[in-house]
């Protein structure tokens, strides 16, 4: 379906998969001993970061295309936008409505949002220099994750997905 998948798009797909796997991190068995019952971490109340380039979860696919123009790759399930050599975004659709957004910044990260921009607070880096945080916003109907890889060639990935 997608004949040209540049390196950044492959990174975006990998980051989305990682975010989906990590979204189950922090889930623990309930102390009562009842098998199968899970307790999720306490959700955040109000999200700071609610949209990317004016597009939020729940937007119509036609509105995304009208606001952002023609995507690099387009389908009923997903659009890929390459805004520059350093910034790309994927919009995933369920029944022609945005159900997930994956934004990736690579190379020059001067324009990449910080955790303060996304969550309203700084997040301490891990010993290797990487940064990760995920927050669920049930009242808003979505979760957000922020991942900055370690190293000189770091990548910042921000994922938003409908709960």
Confidence at residue 10, expressed as pLDDT on a 0 to 100 scale: 43
Segment 67-75 mean pLDDT: 97
CA distance 6 to 151: 21
Confidence at residue 45, expressed as pLDDT on a 0 to 100 scale: 81
pLDDT tens digits, 46-57? 899 999 999 999
Range with the poorest average pLDDT among 33-37, 87-91, 99-103, 115-119: 33-37
Exposed / middle / buried, residue 113 (Cβ in 10 Å: 0-12, 13-18, 19+): middle
Indicate the average pLDDT of the chain. Answer: 83
Segment 19-36 mean pLDDT: 46
Q: What would the 3-class secondary structure string for the chain be? A: CCCCCCHHHHHHHHHHHHHHHHCCCCCEECCCCCCCCEECCCCCCCCCCCCECCECCCCEHHHHHHHHCCCCEECCCEEEEECCCCEEEEEEEECCEEEEEEEEEECCCCCCCCHHHHHCCCCCCCCCCCEEEEEEECCCCEEEEEEECCCCCCEEEEEEEEC
Instruction: Identify the band that residue 1 occupies on the pLDDT scale cut at 50, 70 and 90.
Output: very low
pLDDT tens digits, 97-151? 999 999 999 998 999 999 999 999 999 999 999 999 999 999 999 999 999 999 9
User: What residue spans define the domains of the chain?
Assistant: 7-27+51-162
């Amino acid at each position: 379906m997608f004949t040209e998948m540049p390196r950044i798009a492959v990174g975006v797909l990998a980051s989305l998969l990682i975010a989906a796997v990590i979204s189950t991190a922090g889930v623990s068995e309930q102390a009562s001993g009842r098998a199968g019952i899970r307790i999720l971490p306490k959700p955040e109340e109000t999200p700071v970061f609610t949209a990317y380039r004016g597009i939020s979860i729940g937007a119509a696919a036609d509105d995304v295309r009208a606001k952002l123009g023609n995507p690099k790759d387009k389908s009923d399930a997903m659009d890929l936008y390459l805004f520059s050599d350093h910034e790309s975004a994927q919009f995933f659709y369920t029944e022609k409505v945005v159900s997930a957004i994956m934004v990736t910044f690579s190379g020059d990260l001067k324009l990449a949002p910080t955790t303060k921009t996304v969550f309203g607070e700084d997040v301490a880096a891990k010993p290797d220099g990487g940064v990760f945080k995920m927050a669920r916003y049930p009242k808003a109907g979505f979760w957000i994750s922020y991942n900055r890889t370690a190293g000189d060639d770091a990548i910042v990935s921000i994922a938003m997905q409908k709960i």
